[in-house]
Amino acid sequence: MRKWLLIGLAVVAAVLVAGGAVVFAVMPEKIDRAQNRVQRTALDITPAAQALQATLDVADMHADSLAWKRDLLARADHGHVDLPRLIAGHYALQVFASFTKSPKGQNYDSNPGDTDTITQLAIVDLQPPRTWFSLLQRSLWHAEKLRGFADASGGRLRVIATSSDIDRLLADRKGGAAVVGGMLSIEGLHDLEGNIDNLDVLYAAGFRMAGLAHFFDNDIAGSMHGVAKGGLTPLGRKVVQRMEAVGMVVDIAHASHATVADVLAMATRPVVSSHGGVQATCKVNRNLTDDEIKGVARTGGVVGIGFWQGAVCSLDPKNVARAIAHVRDLVGIDYVGLGSDFDGSTTTGFDASEIVAVTQALMQSGFSEDDIRKVMGGNVLRVLRAGLMPKA
């Protein structure tokens, strides 16, 4: 690794000497703007929806905002999430994911795991050199970034790591504090680098949720977008057991059907699908079947509905409400919530400050105020609170 680190530093030095400093100053934002777009349509928000939104504790299970070189304490004119926009949307909790590897030519159908584009992003963003060739270090850097933003936020952003943290957060919000919780998650446990003990390292850094696979099969589990698309490996079974024991929520987003079946068969605690959709309303391979939705509900978990084309086959909030309604009708209102995939190299119809668009769509679909409260945050907060408790 030292050899590659020295080579990497030499490359950066050569580029800087050649006048490439402008590249490092300009490219990160250019990439961010290209990857995370908002394609707005007219959002006709009623005063009733605005009034209800002002009383909500919104909770979203997946945003990739830590991956980009962006100050999350300042309102940006690009991307989907930052603290001012979360406050404007009346968020109580945003789960921030760490994705550490992405194959070249990434697609939903089949990806080998032998290439990686995130190395280039880490170098262009001038992340610490330790992150250039270590997936584990990339996640630990994301954790450091979130803590740094929280420390500099003047109390407006706090890192959530325990169920009591959630209780205090909600109590303070009820008392009028404009505070948002940020919880750390992992998108694909390839960042364990084959060593289950690294799960304890990640837990100590504050990670409290983890997806088993991302866009390729790994040594933990098969991916819906991998080549073999197999189930849990022997190491993967040990990882799921360790996660349940310490109080890390198991996330089946991106997992192959075989992996989902294996997880649901062995789960003893709530399982989530942090971000995605449902096959019944949007037949995309990464979305959950009805049987899988029922399986998540049987664990007491929650299905997070996303806001992008691959999740709901539209950028219209009405399609988000349609997917939510399907889960409600299939298993009940207590098992569905939000999983935006904001800043996940996605295009959406609105950003975090405009999340009232989903509230409006739910109202127009006939959801009651109590049910909207559950969907927009109550269900996720309940499940995370339970899941963060170490196993008795």
User: Per-residue pLDDT averaged across 127-156, rounded?
Assistant: 97
Using the predicted structure, report yes or no on whether residue 284 has a pLDDT greater than 80: yes
What is the pLDDT of the chain when averaged over all its residues?
94
Positive or negative CA dihedral for 159, 380, 221, 235? positive
Q: Which two tokens stand for residue 173?
A: 């919000």
As a whole number of angstroms, the distance between CA 232 and CA 221 comes to 4
Indicate the pairing of strand 180-187 with strand 91-98: parallel
As a whole number of angstroms, the distance between CA 295 and CA 254 comes to 16
User: Which of 171, 190, 258 lies closest to 222, judged by CA?
Assistant: 258
Task: Write out pLDDT tens, residues 88-97.
Answer: 999 999 999 9
What's the confidence (pLDDT) of residue 43? 82
What's the confidence (pLDDT) of residue 11? 52
Secondary element (H or E) of residue 327: helix 317-331
Q: What are phi and psi of 209, to 5 degrees?
A: -150, 150
Task: Write out pLDDT tens, residues 34-84.
Answer: 999 999 988 889 999 999 999 999 999 999 999 999 999 999 999 999 999
Q: Which two tokens stand for residue 377?
A: 């945050």
What's the confidence (pLDDT) of residue 27? 86
Using the predicted structure, report yes or no on whether residue 314 has a pLDDT greater than 60: yes
Give percent of the chain with pLDDT exceeding 70. Answer: 94
pTM score, whole prediction: 0.94
Domains defined along the chain, listed by start: 58-387 (3.20.20.140)
What's the confidence (pLDDT) of residue 3? 47
Contact at 8 Å (CB) between 318 and 280? no
Using the predicted structure, report yes or no on whether residue 369 has a pLDDT greater than 80: yes
CA-atom Rg of the chain in angstroms: 20
Using the predicted structure, report yes or no on whether residue 306 has a pLDDT greater than 50: yes
Q: Which two tokens stand for residue 287?
A: 């979305």
